[in-house]
Each structure stands twice: as structure tokens, then as C-alpha cells.
């Protein structure tokens, strides 16, 4: 009996550290003219995965950032990149002095890889799996090369990495691994952003792995509840009923995005003799992404 912090904590740590890997996706500089044509991320209407993982997004469509000690041109490029993405999508970026979601730093030292200069690096650095979403809690951008283009393509490219986008095979697209001034963002990137952020930033409490056994009039229950939403949940309670009669109520603390809690109950006395159905209900007053998953019904196996 008693509360245990769910294993998800360890899982989140693991995922976070794995994702630091993406920070090291370099972007190389070399300039040529662009030969015109389709500038979408995906070539020939082939819909490949545009993101590192499925459904990557920040918790909210308003995303905070902070730019650390960058020379004026790079700072302007970065701010222009934030503007361009917010003009083309439902996203909105705003500067903060601490706890930013996207950190931007600069480095003036040239870096080379395979004979090409690296223009910048960027990617999500902290991701939490929550239901259908891979929620990005933090991303980082490092700007290395000055942009020589009219549009700040290097800053846009790195910003899109921090939004979860990978590299495109289309050399006209800004996510192509080698930068050219004529590259553009393409409509399909904006479309995917708008689709992902069309889900409001609500919490979503769900049951996972509920099991129950009756020994005579005594009930043993194992269950876990997780927040698969896009915002921390407030306090809630779990109500257990047997054939529509109240059995027990359990208070549940606030759960962060992707966090869960395992609950084990032993020897809960049930007044009825023959119970056929047990209902578990998460009683939560605020709006959720989905309310249907707040209830689970079990047919009891008598022992
Ligand atoms: Zn890149």
C-alpha cells in the first residue's frame, strides 16, 4: 500500500539524454544558385516523416526564447527567423530573461566537417513522451556562420530543428543539409506546424494498466494514471465504485507532462457480496484533451 513515483521519471531522463544527440546535427555552408521548382520539404508528394519523432511540439504555441551574447547581425538574423516562422504559422515567439524554452548562443570560431564549414547546430534537448505527442520542453540553437542571404536561412534552419524538423532531401528547401540563399521554408512545413499546434494546450489524465481482484468482500487494485497532455494537471481524485456503489476515493496530486503515478490498494472492503462490475473514474474539473479516457470498467474475476 502507498504511493510510488512512477517509472516514467526514469524513462523521461533516458529520453532526454538520448535526444541531446540531435543537438549535434550540423548544418553546412556553401552557396550556389537554386534552380527553381518545388520548395516543399517532401519531394514529389512523397510524405516521409518530416520530424525526428512523431508529433513533436512544444507544450504551447507561444514559445519563449533567450539570445545569449550574440553579435548584432546574428541576433537580428535570429529575431527575423522567429518573425518569419510566426508570420507563416500559428506559432508565436517571445523573449524572456530566464527559463526560456529555446536558448540561442553564438560562436565565431569556424568549424569544419567533411571539407565544409558548419553554419550552425540546433535541436530539441529535452523531450517527454506524452500520449500521441513528443513534447519538447527545451531546444538549443548555436549560430556559427554569418548569414550572407537576404533571408536568415541559417537561423531559420536551426530554429526548425529545435521545432523537431529533420533534414529535407529537397535542395530548394531550407532544411536541406547544405545552405543556399534561394532556399525557402515550403508550405508543407507550415502546414505540419499548424496541424500539430491545433491541439490546445490542455492536460489529459488517463488510466493505464488497471487490474483488480476480489477475495470475498475484499478488493485488491493495481493501477496507474498518467498525464498524456500538454500541460501539468491540477489535483484530481480517483473514484472507485462497485456496481454503481461508492467504494473508495483516492486523491491524486498534480502530474507534470508525461508523468504518471502507480497506485496499489490492498484489502479494500466492499459492502456487496456479488460484484460484477468495477468502475474507476478520474474526477477532474478542468478541461482535458480527452475526457473519454477518464473512465475504465472492469468485470471482476472472483477468486
Ligand atoms: Zn541541419
Cell readout for 216 is: 470475498
Whole-number Å distance, alpha carbon 168 to ligand 1 midpoint, is 9
Whole-number Å distance, alpha carbon 78 to ligand 1 midpoint, is 15
> Left, alpha or beta for 193 (phi > 0: left; psi -120 to 50: alpha)?
alpha
| Confidence (pTM) | 0.83
Whole-number Å distance, alpha carbon 189 to ligand 1 midpoint, is 15
Whole-number Å distance, alpha carbon 196 to ligand 1 midpoint, is 21
Whole-number Å distance, alpha carbon 79 to ligand 1 midpoint, is 19
State pLDDT tens for residues 202-243.
999 999 989 999 888 899 999 999 999 999 999 999 999 999
Cell readout for 85 is: 516562422
Distances in whole angstroms, Cα of residue 9 to Cα of each of 4, 228, 237: 11, 14, 21
How many Å is the maximal CA-CA distance in the chain?
80
Whole-number Å distance, alpha carbon 1 to ligand 1 midpoint, is 50
Whole-number Å distance, alpha carbon 96 to ligand 1 midpoint, is 25
Residues (pLDDT < 70) of the chain are 1-37, 44-48, 300-303
Cell readout for 148 is: 550572407
Whole-number Å distance, alpha carbon 152 to ligand 1 midpoint, is 14
Amino acid at each position: 500500500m502507498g504511493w510510488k513515483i512512477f517509472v516514467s521519471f526514469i524513462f523521461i531522463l533516458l529520453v532526454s539524454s538520448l535526444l541531446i544527440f540531435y543537438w549535434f546535427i550540423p548544418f553546412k555552408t556553401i552557396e550556389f544558385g537554386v534552380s527553381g521548382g518545388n520548395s516543399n520539404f517532401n519531394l514529389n508528394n512523397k510524405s516521409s516523416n518530416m520530424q525526428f519523432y512523431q508529433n513533436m511540439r512544444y507544450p504551447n504555441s507561444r514559445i519563449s526564447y533567450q539570445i545569449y551574447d550574440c553579435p548584432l547581425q546574428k541576433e537580428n538574423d535570429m529575431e527575423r527567423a522567429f518573425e518569419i516562422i510566426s508570420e507563416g504559422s500559428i506559432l508565436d515567439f517571445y523573449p524572456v530573461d530566464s527559463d526560456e524554452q529555446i536558448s540561442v548562443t553564438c560562436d565565431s570560431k569556424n568549424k569544419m566537417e567533411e571539407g565544409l564549414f558548419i553554419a550552425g547546430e540546433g535541436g530539441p534537448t529535452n523531450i517527454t513522451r506524452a500520449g500521441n505527442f513528443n513534447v519538447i520542453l527545451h531546444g538549443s540553437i548555436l549560430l556559427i556562420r554569418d548569414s550572407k542571404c537576404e533571408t536568415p536561412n541559417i537561423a531559420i534552419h536551426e530554429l526548425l530543428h529545435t521545432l523537431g524538423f529533420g533534414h529535407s532531401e529537397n535542395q530548394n528547401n531550407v532544411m536541406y543539409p547544405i545552405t543556399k540563399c534561394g532556399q525557402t521554408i515550403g508550405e508543407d512545413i507550415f502546414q505540419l506546424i499548424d496541424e500539430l499546434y491545433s491541439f490546445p494546450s490542455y492536460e489529459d489524465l488517463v488510466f493505464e494498466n488497471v487490474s483488480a481482484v476480489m477475495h470475498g468482500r475484499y478488493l485488491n487494485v493495481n493501477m496507474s494514471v498518467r498525464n498524456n497532455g500538454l500541460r501539468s494537471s491540477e489535483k484530481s481524485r480517483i473514484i472507485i465504485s462497485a456496481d454503481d456503489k461508492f467504494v473508495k476515493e483516492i486523491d491524486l496530486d498534480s502530474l507534470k507532462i508525461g508523468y504518471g503515478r502507480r497506485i496499489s490498494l490492498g484489502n479494500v472492503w466492499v459492502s456487496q457480496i456479488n460484484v460484477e462490475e468495477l468502475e474507476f473514474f478520474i474526477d477532474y474539473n478542468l478541461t482535458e484533451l480527452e475526457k473519454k479516457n477518464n473512465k475504465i470498467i472492469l468485470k471482476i474475476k472472483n477468486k
